Amino acid sequence: MAAAASSSLLAAASSSSRAAAVSTRRARANPAAASLPSPSRAPCAPLRASPARTLRSRVVASAAPAMQPPPASRVSTVVDVDLGDRSYPIYIGAGLLDEPDLLQRHVHGKRVLVVTNTTVAPLYLEKVTWALTHNNPNVSVESVILPDGEKYKDMDTLMKVFDKAVESRLDRRCTFVALGGGVIGDMCGFAAAAFLRGVNFIQIPTTLMAQVDSSVGGKTGINHPLGKNLIGAFYQPQCVLIDTETLNTLPDRELASGIAEVVKYGLIRDAPFFEWQEKNMPALLAREPSALAYAIKRSCENKAEVVAQDEKESGLRATLNLGHTFGHAIETGTGYGAWLHGEAVAAGTVMAADMSHRLGWIDESIKKRVIDILEKAKLPITPPEAMTVEKFKSIMAVDKKVADGLLRLILLKGPLGSCVFTGDYDRNALDETLRAFCNS
């Protein structure tokens, strides 16, 4: 067990480490921006290569289509993901798809492939195509529209993206744009990583799940019939553009699914954020713009901080998978798409909290608060009946966090906002949790 113990680490919230990892810039609409020195307007101007942070902030604040007077920008927040030469910004704001310059500055080359699905295409494909091409006649846009749903996150569907890219004769200077939820982002990102051994890509997440989690951090991939996300790549986008107005078309069930990941950030490393959620859950469910914007911003900050410290998941980053080992087993065991990802994660989070409590690592009050907040969000707190103890065990055995045969889990430990990633736990506690949540 010594080897396992050495991989255990405490991921308590630490404001000092946060400050080092991420900078968040507020860039509210400001009429004064128009009088600032004019930023570069070259369509491919590499924002990340700008000499100083203050300049970057101004560039964003005065973002505007070329040939027009710069209107006040709608970008309310920029979260930087700090990964050296793979760093990139996350733009968050209402109506960002109405600002062509934001997207265009991150498109290199003349060809774009938008990857989207049958649900999102009728809503936003035209708008995104406009944003990419407005006052920008050099760029041409192709699109590929995939079937919608987790069950299509497979190799056959991925091949449709490659087919379209090859048939369109896209070259290494093209840019792939992921327009949709987590499935589209994961597939488009992996396609971009593998097409011609790597082309640029941009994330435009349109679900809360994708905005607060899957679009940030560069995990891409597809499912294998025997397990979630087993085939993929770490591959970072050029930018993430979150237009919070796209949430207006999101079904309630999808909104709740995203909230499961928001809750996760509070539990693993940000107790004040969890407490804010406990107070503001009704506002989130009612889609109050300011509440949603804050939840997205704080989630992206938390994710960016973790990813900046551990891009390839050698340790800390695994803590973002609280509840996910149980959750992935539910998704795989019930057939991809029967439960939404966040629904499975919610039940998995309760199971992780239950096991943490059985191990004596957290007080009962924390376990109760976990159940309460997920119930408030109208998320499931137990796995579906089809999940047996044996089903959980056999699927969890192929989880990516298994190392040399040992299943490592993210468990809560200590005060609210603290967790560990470890294989050093009493197996009986895992068995007891599985038996407590399964009928057979």
| Interface residue list for a copy of itself (CB under 8 A) | 109-111, 155, 159, 162-163, 166-167, 169, 171-173, 190, 193-198, 219, 221, 224, 226-227, 230-234, 312, 397-398, 400, 402-405
Taking Cα atoms as reference points, which of 149, 153, 209 lies closest to residue 346? 209
- As measured in angstroms, the least distance from the Cβ of 400 to a copy of itself is 5
Q: How far, in Å, CA of 406 to CA of 424, rounded? A: 9
CA atoms 363, 369, 374, 375: torsion sign:
positive
**Cβ distance to a copy of itself smaller for residue 231 or 389:** 231
Taking Cα atoms as reference points, which of 191, 194, 80, 93 lies closest to residue 144? 191
Is 328 catalytic? The answer is yes
- As measured in angstroms, the least distance from the Cβ of 190 to a copy of itself is 8
Q: How far, in Å, CA of 165 to CA of 171, rounded? A: 8
Is 287 catalytic? The answer is no
- As measured in angstroms, the least distance from the Cβ of 194 to a copy of itself is 5
Considering 305, 321, 369, 400, which one is annotated as catalytic? 321
Q: Kindly list the distances between the CA atom of residue 56 and the CA atoms of 47, 76, 186, 298, 376, in Å, as whole numbers in the listed order.
A: 7, 14, 28, 21, 40
* Contacting residues for 82 by C-beta, under 8 A, at least 6 apart: 21, 22, 23, 304, 308
Which string of DSSP letters, residue by residue, matches 1-33? -HHHHHT--B----HHHHHHH--EEE----GGG
Residue showing tokens 């699109």: 143
Considering 56, 74, 324, 400, which one is annotated as catalytic? 324
With 0-12 / 13-18 / 19 or more C-beta atoms within 10 angstroms meaning exposed / middle / buried, residue 3 is exposed
Q: Kindly list the distances between the CA atom of residue 316 and the CA atoms of 60, 89, 202, 244, 422, in Å, as whole numbers in the listed order.
A: 31, 22, 25, 29, 11
Is 303 catalytic? The answer is yes
- As measured in angstroms, the least distance from the Cβ of 11 to a copy of itself is 19
- As measured in angstroms, the least distance from the Cβ of 140 to a copy of itself is 10
Is 317 catalytic? The answer is yes
Q: How far, in Å, CA of 314 to CA of 400, rounded? A: 12
Q: How far, in Å, CA of 418 to CA of 28, rounded? A: 33
- As measured in angstroms, the least distance from the Cβ of 360 to a copy of itself is 28
**Cβ distance to a copy of itself smaller for residue 108 or 376:** 108
* Contacting residues for 359 by C-beta, under 8 A, at least 6 apart: 411, 425, 426, 429
- As measured in angstroms, the least distance from the Cβ of 430 to a copy of itself is 17
Taking Cα atoms as reference points, which of 413, 209, 380, 377 lies closest to residue 278? 377
**Cβ distance to a copy of itself smaller for residue 205 or 227:** 227
Considering 153, 228, 328, 408, which one is annotated as catalytic? 328
Hey, which bits of 69-156 come out as E strands? 75-81, 88-93, 111-117, 140-146
Is 341 catalytic? The answer is yes
| Six-digit token string for 87 | 């760093």
**Cβ distance to a copy of itself smaller for residue 227 or 327:** 227
Considering 56, 58, 317, 358, which one is annotated as catalytic? 317
Task: Determine the longest span between alpha carbons in the chain, in angstroms.
Answer: 69
Is 150 catalytic? The answer is no
Considering 313, 357, 358, 400, which one is annotated as catalytic? 313
**Cβ distance to a copy of itself smaller for residue 221 or 417:** 221
- As measured in angstroms, the least distance from the Cβ of 112 to a copy of itself is 13
- Phi/psi-derived region of residue 272, left when phi > 0, alpha when psi is between -120 and 50, beta in every other case: alpha
**Cβ distance to a copy of itself smaller for residue 89 or 218:** 218
**Cβ distance to a copy of itself smaller for residue 163 or 385:** 163
- As measured in angstroms, the least distance from the Cβ of 159 to a copy of itself is 6
Is 357 catalytic? The answer is no
Is 313 catalytic? The answer is yes
| Six-digit token string for 270 | 């940000």
Considering 169, 197, 279, 427, which one is annotated as catalytic? 197
**Cβ distance to a copy of itself smaller for residue 36 or 402:** 402
In this structure, what is the dihedral angle of CA atoms 395, 398, 404, 407, given to the nearest 10 degrees?
-40
**Cβ distance to a copy of itself smaller for residue 168 or 382:** 168
- The C-alpha angle 313, 315, 320, rounded to 5 degrees, equals 70
Residues with catalytic annotation?
A: 197, 219, 261, 303, 313, 317, 321, 324, 328, 341
